Amino acid sequence: MEWLRSIVLFAAGIGFLEWICPGGVYETYVKFIYSLLMLAVILSPLSAQAEIPAIAELSVQGGSLSQEYQQGQQRVEQVQQLQIREILQERIAFQASLLLSEEFYGINQEDIEVYIQQESLKGRTSIPCTVTVYTRQPQQAEQIRNTLQSGLQLPGNCIRIERKENDIE
């Protein structure tokens, strides 16, 4: 009964809109759109009934579909974690090179390696990483460590200073 009422009200609404809208070039297009809408209203109960078996069929086969979906989701999350890790490594190395190049001569981004541990970064407030700085002046190791600790807000045990061998030209 509700379906019949919605058809009658929709038809009355369409008739009113056709009466308000001026005729002319677009009249055929407007009538076509109205007829499509009327068809959708008429067929709406049929589509609602047709969805019930489809849902039941999906729930029977849902076990394998949901497992495949979850596996795909896990693969996507793993790739995202790797991409996030790479971006963080680049940003930390760049930030460290900016901090160190201001105070220490001869240290640039190529002299800095950042390693982020493989554990998940989800929900973490700190990044589990190790920053290694290669320098030709190991006597400045403590100053370099202090600069990185204060600038990057990393604990001292996450910062390694190693001697860089002289480049042979």
% of the chain at pLDDT higher than 70: 79
Q: What is the pLDDT of residue 96?
A: 84
Chain mean pLDDT for the chain: 76
- Mean pLDDT lowest among 27-41, 73-87, 110-124: 110-124
Q: Give CA 168 to chain center in angstroms.
A: 45
Return the HEC string of 73-119: HHHHHHHHHHHHHHHHHHHHHHHHHHHHHHHCCCCCHHHEEEEECCC
Confidence of residue 124 (pLDDT cuts 50, 70, 90): low
pLDDT tens digits along 84-114? 888 888 888 888 888 888 787 777 778 888 8
Domain boundaries along the sequence of the chain: 2-16+25-61, 88-163
Give the C-alpha separation, 112 to 80, whole Å: 24
Pick the CATH number of 88-163 from 3.40.50.300, 3.40.50.1000, 3.40.50.1370, 3.30.300.30: 3.30.300.30
pLDDT tens digits along 66-87? 778 888 888 888 888 888 888 8
- 112 - beta bridge partners? 133
pLDDT at 3 over 60: yes
Q: Once rounded to an integer, what is the mean pLDDT over residues 129-157?
A: 81
- Mean pLDDT lowest among 45-49, 53-57, 116-120, 148-152: 53-57
